[in-house]
Chain A
Amino acid sequence: MIGRYMSDLDKGDQLGPVEREVTPFLIREYAHAVEETSERHLGGAHQVAPPTLFHAHKLNLLHTACPDGTGPTARMHVVYSAKHHALLPAGARVQVTGRITDRYERNGREYVEMTVEIIDQDTRQVYATYVDTTLLSYRTGG
């Protein structure tokens, strides 16, 4: 259940909503870091976010729901799966919600699957649905 750590999360837990503005800074900072050089992301009147910025929204959600981080050991992201529904423009105010859709063990390692939805606070337009799977500890038995 939702507690201090990501390792506390269990199937059925609801995370958020977290509301935030997709600022031009947020988009530029992310785009520069991932060497995304399309001017669509770097500025101008029609600046839009790279779709992989959804991952940063997910982390924002996790920081809020699990303030003390991953748990006893480092987590590792293992699957990214995003479906885009609309361009995400700079200045949009979004609402990010998450749901733990699975928690399972495979080969002695524990995994958590989370489904995240990013929607416009005002219009309710869905920008993306994002499913993320994380390994809670790379070290077996950790």
Chain B
Amino acid sequence: MTEKWETGTQIVKRSRVMTAERMRWYADALESCAQDDGQAVIAPLNIHTSDEIARDNGLPARVSDGMVSTNWISTALTDVFGDSYLATGSLLTRFRRPILVDEKIDIQITVRAAEATPEGETLLTLDVACVKSDGEVATAGNATVVLGR
């Protein structure tokens, strides 16, 4: 099965624009999840939803929560691998550069290695990244997925 997964093969490439709304949706969802009373909550302004607060903290303007780009990668992994990723996978992301409003982001997932396990399964190691239009890497890391026989 490992031969299906050649090193360097790009298995996902999709693009999204980081809008102010996407930044706000995530901030509000975290607050709603923290309260978890069945009601949607509007989060207090923060560096992800206010240019002023972001500048007060040394940033050029509001920036995306790194979990937004991480979620885009995670969703792509779910789309491709389903329960194999959800139940036994892993994901590591490092937030290397802030993502600003209206920046176009390419979500990329590439095969780094495929190894046969003693149990007859395939351990896939993947490179993951969110890359800006100018080539700057905003988010980078790796993921693993174990695929059945």
The verdict on B42 contacting chain A, using a C-beta distance below 8 Å, is: no
Number of interface residues of A (CB under 8 A): 43
Scoring A residues 30 to 61 as 1 if CB is less than 8 Å from chain B, else 0, what string do you get? 10111111101000000010111101100110
Query: Pick the contact of B90 from A25, A84, A142 — CB < 8 Å?
Result: A84
**CB-CB < 8 A to A29: which residues of B?**
29, 32-33, 40
Q: Assess the A85–B88 pair: CB atoms within 8 A.
A: yes
A-B pairs with beta carbons under 8 A, tally: 127
Pair A142/B86 contact, Cβ less than 8 Å? no
Q: How far is the CB of B50 from chain A (nearest CB, A)?
A: 10
Are the C-beta atoms of A78 and B70 separated by less than 8 Å? no
Please report the C-alpha to C-alpha distance between residue A44 and residue B89 in the assembled complex, in whole angstroms. 23
Question: What are the interface flags for B23-49 relative to A under an 8 Å C-beta threshold, 1 for contact and 0 otherwise?
Answer: 001101110111010101000001100
B75 near A: Cβ within 8 Å?
yes
Residues of B close to A38: CB separation below 8 A: 75, 78-79
**B: which residues have CB within 8 A of A?**
22, 25-26, 28-30, 32-34, 36, 38, 40, 46-47, 53, 57-59, 65-68, 70-72, 74-75, 78-79, 83, 85-95, 141
